[in-house]
Amino acid sequence: MKKLTVLLSVLVLAMGILAAGCGGGDKGDKKAAAPAPAAKEELIVGTEPSFAPFEFPEKDSKEFTGFDMDLIRAIAKEMGYKKCTIKNMGFDALIPAINTGNLDVAIAGFTITEERKQQVIFSQPYYKSGLAFVVRKDVNDVKSFEDLKGKTVAVQLGTTGALYGEKLKEKGTTLKTFNTSDLACMELKNKGADAVISDLPVLQYFLKNGGSEYAKLVGNPLTAEDYGIVISKKKPELAKDVDKALDALRKNGTYDKLYEKWFGKKPEK
C-alpha cells in the first residue's frame, strides 16, 4: 500500500511537471523574451526630386517616387520606424541640413566622394553610377568630352557633374549652373545649352522618356561613381543601423526586387 502511494505521488508529480511544460509555456516565454524595442516614431529624409529614376514627383500625387524613395522607405521600415517623411530641398542644401540636424538622412543619388566624406558619413554603397553627357540632336561636331571646348554646357549646382564641368571652363567652355537637373535639361531643349553633364542612369531615363526627341548620348561614361546615403557625423549609430538595414534588405531580396523594378535588370554583384 505504501509502495502504491509513493508510485501515485511520483505519477502526480510527473504529470504536474508535464502540464507546466505545455500549458505554462506561454507564461514562461513571455518572461524570457527580450522586451520589444520601442517603435521609433519618424525618420526625416531629405532629397532633391528632379533626378528620375531615383527621386521624382509621382504622377497625380504629392508623393515622391523612384529607386531611392522605395529604398529609403524600406530601410526606415526595416529599422522599425513608424513613419518615413520625405522633404524636398535644393541638392546643395541637403548636406548642410544633415549637419544642422534638420534631417536624419539624405538620399539623392549622392556620389560618395572624399570631399563629402570630410563633412558627413556615407552608408555602404548602394548603386554603381557614373557621369556621362548628352548633346542636342543638332550638334554634330561633338564626339568626345574634349569636343565640348567652346560649347555651352548645363549642369546641376553642387553635383559631381558640375565639378567635372569646371574642368572644361579653362578650355573656353561656358558653364551654366541650374538648381535642378530638370532645369539643366530644359536649357538644352530651349537651345540655351549644347550639352548636359549628369549621371548616366539619369540621362538614360531622360532620353527614354521624351528627351531623345532633342538630345542624344555621346561618347563613353566619364567616371565610375558609387551612391551612398548621407548621415551626420554626429550620428554614427544611425549610420550603423542604416547599413544593417541595407544588409538585411540585400539578404531578404527586397533590394534586388526594387533594383529590377526601376532598372529592369538584376544588380551587378
State the residues that interact with ligand GLN by CB under 6 A: 48, 51, 91, 108-111, 156, 159-160, 181, 199
For residues 202 and 222, give the distance between their C-alpha atoms in angstroms, rounded to a whole number.
14
Question: Would you state the cell numbers that stand for residue 197, as one nine-digit string?
Answer: 553633364
Q: Pick between residue 70 and residue 199 the one whose CB is nearest to ligand GLN.
A: 199
Question: Would you state the cell numbers that stand for residue 262, as one nine-digit string?
Answer: 526601376
**Least distance in angstroms from the C-beta of 113 to ligand GLN:** 7
Q: How far is C-alpha 89 from the geometric centre of its chain's CA atoms?
A: 15
Q: Pick between residue 27 and residue 128 the one whose CB is nearest to ligand GLN.
A: 128
Residue located via cell numbers 526625416 = 44
Beta strands in the chain (DSSP E): 40-47, 56-57, 64-65, 81-88, 105-106, 120-122, 127-129, 131-136, 152-156, 174-178, 195-199, 215-218, 225-227, 230-232
Q: Pick between residue 48 and residue 243 the one whose CB is nearest to ligand GLN.
A: 48
**Least distance in angstroms from the C-beta of 83 to ligand GLN:** 24
**Least distance in angstroms from the C-beta of 106 to ligand GLN:** 10
Q: Pick between residue 79 and residue 183 the one whose CB is nearest to ligand GLN.
A: 183
87: helix, coil or strand?
strand
Q: What's the DSSP call for residue 55? A: B
Q: Pick between residue 110 and residue 205 the one whose CB is nearest to ligand GLN.
A: 110
Number of other residues whose CB lies within 10 A of the CB of residue 154: 28
Cα distances from 185 to residues 134, 139, 269, in angstroms, run 9, 15, 32
Report the amino acid identity of residue 218: V
Q: Pick between residue 110 and residue 255 the one whose CB is nearest to ligand GLN.
A: 110
**Least distance in angstroms from the C-beta of 154 to ligand GLN:** 12
**Least distance in angstroms from the C-beta of 80 to ligand GLN:** 28
**Least distance in angstroms from the C-beta of 158 to ligand GLN:** 7
